Amino acid sequence: MIENRNKTIEIVKHTSADLRAHFTRHPSFGNLDAYQWTLNVSAHYNRHVEQILEIIEHKDFPKK
């Protein structure tokens, strides 16, 4: 997960492509440009991190 996140960051930082000029359809949100997809992927990643932390912090999660 972290490796893919880092690859995405590097692509976005170094691309010369106009991310607003490339579109594809998202099954829930309709047409999104590449910039919007990047924001969506970031939010999705962050949500997974929050879910993992919720599990780890649960009272029944095994302690070390």
Structural domain contains residue 16: yes
Query: In this structure, what token pair is assigned to residue 5?
Result: 């996140």
Domain count of the chain? 1
The tens digit of pLDDT for each residue in 37-59 reads 999 999 999 999 999 999 999 99
All residues at 6 or more sequence positions from 41 whose CB lies less than 8 Å from its CB, including other chains:
8
**Mean pLDDT, residues 17-29 taken together:** 96
pLDDT value at position 4?
86
The rounded mean pLDDT for the chain is 94
Structural domain contains residue 38: yes
Structural domain contains residue 21: yes
pLDDT value at position 18?
97
Residue 28: DSSP 8-state: T
pLDDT value at position 35?
95
Structural domain contains residue 62: no
Note down the domain range covering 26: 2-57
